Amino acid sequence: MNEAVARAHLDRLWSRGREFLGCGHAIMGGAMTWVSERNLVSAISNAGGFGVIATGSMSPALLSAEIAATKQKTDRPFGVNVITMHPELMALIEICLDHKVGHVVLAGGIPPGAAIQRVRQGGAKAMCFAPALVIARKLVKSGADAIIIEGMEAGGHTGPVSTSVLAQEILPAIREVPVFVAGGIGRGEAILGYLEMGAAGVQLGSRFVCATESIAHPKFKQAFIRAAARDAVLSVQLDPRFPVIPVRALANAATKRFLEAQRNVIDRVDRGELDQKAAQLEIEHFWAGALRRAVIEGDVENGSVMAGQSVGMVNEEQPTRVIIDELVGQAVAALSAREASFGEAGRGR
């Protein structure tokens, strides 16, 4: 297959995702709190992908300004990711609708039906995360316009099941709406693989952290460039009485101190010095402000350097357009090479 034919084939493979998102390549830039703001989001959309603003750290007023600023930098479509636990969830959705944002990603838990309905009534498409097939089916019934599945390889808050298993369980079963695959994707060959399994497109986070346009602190980017896949570890829970939210981040001084902090809390509870509720709060508060400390202030030892296992494939700072062209190029090359090897096998007969 020559390159032009391979490209046309790839475009057919992700045509459902391209149409749904309204962009050239069905590659979503996964929203990353503090990182996915106007600069990176517009750069991803301008390069033919689909940028998504992260609102984890934003009030409705800040989001409104961010959407307006992003529109100054791109006339291509982009989305907004809202976290369902956000105390101002419905107000954030209204801001998206006021600005005529076409796609709202409802993340961080199963979204309330009212949120999905409001997004759709307001004229936008609702994209929802499904951590299991039964939930994907429920979300489709509740009106989700698309599903995102994200495996445990992903950076940040993550579920217990790997991307490859979720993809096998969910892609063949959910055909009513487009399904996008996230978690552990660092190269175009993997994108091609998921598209051939039935994905409409993909979502990548870690791969975009070191984009030239990303405002992440140079030390945050350096930590990514230095890290290997095995350095991106899950938060550890020491005691079943005190749940810890699973988060994947680079191991550093803070992840070590988190273990000591848990041990200290557990000892105090066992000695009767602290009640269960106060103990749980202390554990949860440990990471307050930690992502900002790492991304914005560059304190990569005492902050949270959220990163997926695909961090091992981040080797340098590159313009967003180069990252996207590289990913697309790898998928195209894989298709071309495969066709060539079919030809050789045919000649061997």
Residues that bind ligand FMN (CB under 6 A): 30-33, 35, 54, 56, 81, 107, 150, 153-156, 182-185, 203-207, 306-308, 310
- Quote the least distance from Cβ 349 to ligand FMN, whole Å: 41
- Quote the least distance from Cβ 35 to ligand FMN, whole Å: 6
- Of 33 and 320, which CB lies nearer to ligand FMN in the complex structure? 33
- Quote the least distance from Cβ 272 to ligand FMN, whole Å: 38
- Of 1 and 229, which CB lies nearer to ligand FMN in the complex structure? 229
- Quote the least distance from Cβ 235 to ligand FMN, whole Å: 14
- Of 23 and 107, which CB lies nearer to ligand FMN in the complex structure? 107
- Quote the least distance from Cβ 315 to ligand FMN, whole Å: 15
- Quote the least distance from Cβ 264 to ligand FMN, whole Å: 27
- Quote the least distance from Cβ 45 to ligand FMN, whole Å: 15
Phi, psi for 112 (deg, rounded to 5): -65, 145
Query: Which position's Cβ is nearest ligand FMN?
Result: 205
- Of 37 and 332, which CB lies nearer to ligand FMN in the complex structure? 37
Answer yes or no: are the C-beta atoms of 323 and 313 closer than 8 Å: no
- Of 56 and 198, which CB lies nearer to ligand FMN in the complex structure? 56
- Of 158 and 274, which CB lies nearer to ligand FMN in the complex structure? 158
CB within 8 A of 124, min separation 6: which ones?
A: 96, 97, 100, 101, 102, 103, 104
CB within 8 A of 344, min separation 6: which ones?
A: none
- Of 30 and 274, which CB lies nearer to ligand FMN in the complex structure? 30
- Of 76 and 248, which CB lies nearer to ligand FMN in the complex structure? 248
- Quote the least distance from Cβ 276 to ligand FMN, whole Å: 29
